[in-house]
Chains A and B, each alone.
Chain A
Amino acid sequence: MSLIFDLARGMLSRRRRQTLVSVMGVALGVAFFIAIASLMRGFQTYFIEQVIDVQPHIIVKDETRRPLPQAVEIAHPEGAVALSGVKPTERVRGIRNAAEKIAILEGIPGVFSSPILTGQALLRYGSRDVSVSITGIEPARYRRVSNLEKDLFQGRMEDLRSTANGLIIGIGLAQKLGVVLGDSIIAVSPKGVSLQMKIVGIFRTGLTTLDNQAGYTLLKVNQILQDRPNVVNQILLRLDDVTGAEPLARQIEARFGDRSESWEEQNRNVLTVFVIQNAIMYSVTGAILLVAAFGIYNIISTVVFEKTRDIAILKSLGFTEGDIQWLFLLQGMIAGLLGAVLGCVLGQIMIEGLAQIRFQTETPAGNDRFLLAHDWRIFAVASFFAILAASIAAVVPARRAARLDPVQTIRGAA
């Protein structure tokens, strides 16, 4: 084994420059893959982290996935019954037995829950009207499922409790209305309830929709504003283990019947985009590696052609076809390995370079640079595929070498 390795190394060293060119081809493929993958993975991870960070991991809503079944459908589940023009009964919307459900959910280890009531309202300050979405929260519970507290840059969450009709709004909204901390404004709900509210906090999340359109008040206050006493229309859940969100959401929905959406379900469209993005990335780098593989094929073919005599003598000495095939396959693998190592170094340099770039414009999230993932797995995957591609490229010339007839060669040389 070590003999074949020594022979392979010796043969490759003869064609140093040509070997270097093929190795560089592999190295570039690996380096680009690493740089692009780090870039994409970095962005995707950042995005998902933002999503996980900003949004609750599961939202239990006061809806069902399908319309509630009618009595006749329950009575004849298999029957050919069609109903049309059903007039739904007026029922109080909201999650039924919310307190009970919360108690059950809180019983699950690693799960925090918070009931909220969301609703629309018009904020009026002077002559300005802005329509906003108001969320009624219980600060003690809500701080465990959201980052609102972290995003507050003026005021405190506790002030919601200590101030009558306290309201926390986004920075964009505050600017639109022209209000500052401590100002009083009028909130009017679609039900016609009007409340005088006091700004007790201003937050900035970096997400424009939230900063421009969201407001938070006490759950009780919003229930009065929306004229929906004791109603909770969503339960937000936050999990210690975000990967468990989807299965847990399914369990909750199966048990309570309330529509439960995990963060994955809510962001499915974006996550699908990521899948496509990754597919594009893999095909591009796959193409680069394919080109690199041709380089390897070329060098191994050349060596086989040049080493016809050496192959003949090795075979006459008693090397089997398997030995010879392995000898040239190993050369491809060595070239692939060198390319992979060099590519990892180059890739790291490219990452460092990209990390130095600063953008003039400030993105909403407050980033002015590329978000790069530093993941050893990217290096491992790139190296693995480089060596694999190089090995596959070497198979054809290696097989040709293995099948060379030593008699023909020796006769030809004489």
Chain B
Amino acid sequence: MNNATPALLEAQHITRRLPEGVTLVQDASLKVERGEFIAITGPSGSGKSSLLYLLGLLDRPTEGRVLLEGRDTASLSTAELANLRLARLGFVFQFHFLLPEFSTLDNVLIPIRRLGRLKDSAARTQAMKLLEALGMAEAARKLPEQLSGGMRQRAAIARALANDPAIILADEPTGNLDTRNAAAVFDIFARLAAEEGRAILVVTHDAELAKRANRRIHLVDGRIVSDSRAG
């Protein structure tokens, strides 16, 4: 690997311990490159979600450090981390977490407007383009409660993509979906990695779906026990 270009995202010996003494993640190290589609698997309670939150700058490690595009994030303030999340990262959770009072389009517009790089009309065009790419053009004006589960999750993915992030972090994104919709979500992720060069990190306990990723990280008791690339 060329040292001149740092990894997109890198964890160096990170450990996350709760004040009560419980260790969620133990001495985990990994590098994430552009275009990688990574599945993080492991039994429940193995710390896969905790690892994802640490990599997603939602949580801070008690030991070790996380580097985003070569930049050490340990010294950054909470507000600076928030701005990094806004501009460079996209999140998808098990629950869609769409704001119920706002239409699908407005939900996708929230991060774009918060970042404030695009004018109103350009922001709307961008949001509509994302929804169209996910086959959600017709649902743009609808409220989340008027959508099916699969559509909601696709809307959440559109929102995660709103600011053209380098990395998508998904925590059990298919946990509430049927097999068909779950497969569709993984198709989207595969496409985002392969065609758009984004790094995708997905926490899942579904072994079948995990096989579709091109790299699999397996956790047991907070430790990375295997890190394999699909050939």
Q: Known: A406-B58, A414-B94. Is A322-B79 also a contact (CB below 8 A)?
A: yes
B97-A319 in contact (CB<8A)? no
Which range contains the number of A residues in contact with the other chain?
A: 20 to 34
Given known contacts A314-B110, A413-B93, what 10 new A-B pairs fall within 8 Å (CB)?
Answer: A3-B113, A3-B114, A14-B101, A316-B56, A317-B159, A318-B83, A319-B82, A410-B58, A410-B171, A414-B93
Tell me if A17 is interfacial: C-beta within 8 Å of chain B.
no
Asked if B87 contacts A318 (CB within 8 A), the reply is yes
Q: Which residues of A contact B (CB under 8 A)?
A: 2-3, 6-7, 10-11, 13-14, 309-310, 312-323, 406-407, 410-411, 413-414
B91 in the interface, Cβ–Cβ < 8 Å?
yes
How long is the Cα–Cα vector from A253 to B91 in the complex, in angstroms?
Answer: 80
Chain B minimum-CB-distance residue to A3: B113
Main SS of chain A's interface residues?
helix
- Per-residue 0/1 for B41-84: is the Cβ within 8 Å of any A Cβ (1 yes, 0 no)? 00000000100010010110000000000000000001100111
The answer to whether the Cβ of B135 comes within 8 Å of any Cβ in the partner chain is no
B86 touches A317 (CB 8 A): yes
Interface size on B, residues (CB 8 A): 33
Interface flag for B172 (CB, 8 Å): yes
Task: Say yes or no: B101 contacts A3, CB within 8 Å.
Answer: no
B186 within 8 Å of A (CB atoms): no
In the complex, what distance in Å separates the CA atom of A321 from the CA atom of B91? 18
B111 at the interface (CB under 8 A from A): yes
CB distance from A317 to the nearest CB of B (A): 5
Asked if B99 lies at the interface with its beta carbon under 8 angstroms from chain A, I say yes
Please name 19 pairs of A and B residues whose Cβ atoms are closer than 8 Å in the assembled complex, sorted by A: A14-B101, A313-B99, A314-B110, A315-B58, A315-B82, A316-B56, A317-B91, A317-B159, A318-B84, A318-B87, A318-B89, A319-B114, A321-B82, A407-B58, A410-B97, A410-B171, A413-B94, A413-B97, A414-B49
* A6 neighbours in B (Cβ, 8 Å): 106
Which 6 pairs from chain A and chain B are nearest by CB? A318-B86, A10-B101, A313-B97, A318-B85, A3-B113, A320-B79
Q: Taking beta carbons and an 8 Å cutoff, which residues of B are in contact with A?
A: 49, 53, 56, 58-59, 78-79, 82-87, 89, 91, 93-95, 97, 99-102, 106, 110-111, 113-115, 159, 171-172, 175
Residue A309 contacts which of B53, B97, B101, B102 (CB distance < 8 angstroms)? B97
Do B175 and A316 touch across chains, with their CB atoms under 8 A apart? no
Tell me which residues across on chain A come within 8 A of B91, comparing CB atoms: 313, 316-317
Q: How far is the CA of A413 from the CA of B175 in the complex (A)?
A: 12
Q: Which residue of A lies closest to B95 (CB)?
A: A413
Write the nearest CB–CB distance from B126 to chain A, whole angstroms. 15
Assess whether A321 is in contact with B78, with CB atoms less than 8 Å apart: yes
CA distance A321 to B78 in the complex (A): 8
**Bound-complex Cα distance A317 to B56 (A):** 10
Query: Are A310 and B79 closer than 8 Å at their CB atoms?
Result: no
- Interface-central residue, B86, B97, B171, B175, by most chain A CB under 10 Å: B97
> When chains A and B are docked, how far (Å) is the Cα of A406 from the Cα of B172?
16
Is there an interface contact between B111 and A317, defined as CB atoms closer than 8 Å?
A: yes
The answer to whether A318 and B111 have CB atoms under 8 Å apart is yes
Known A-B contacts A317-B114, A320-B78; the reply to A13 vs B101 at CB < 8 A is yes
Distance (Å) between the CB of B165 and the closest chain A CB?
A: 10
Shortest Cβ distance from residue A158 to the other chain B in the assembled complex, whole angstroms? 77
Least CB distance, B49 to chain A, in whole angstroms = 7
Q: Assuming the A-B contacts A10-B102, A414-B175, are A310 and B93 also in contact, with contact meaning beta carbons closer than 8 angstroms in the complex?
A: no
Chain A residues, CB < 8 A from B83: 318, 320
Residues of A within 8 A of B87 (CB): 318
Question: What is the CA–CA distance of A323 and B82 in the complex, to the nearest angstrom?
Answer: 10
Report whether A318 and B82 are in contact in the complex, using a CB–CB cutoff of 8 Å: yes
Q: Which residues of B contact A320 (CB under 8 A)?
A: 78-79, 82-83
A414 CA / B50 CA spacing, docked (Å): 12
Which chain B residues border A411 with CB–CB below 8 Å? 49
B100 touches A14 (CB 8 A): yes
Given the known A-B contacts A319-B114, A413-B94, are A7 and B99 also in contact in the complex, defined by CB atoms under 8 Å?
Answer: yes
Q: A3-B113, A317-B114, A407-B58 are in contact. Are A310 and B82 (CB under 8 A)?
A: no
Determine whether the beta carbon of B53 is less than 8 Å from that of A318.
no
Centre residue among A3, A14, A315 by max chain B CB count within 10 A: A3
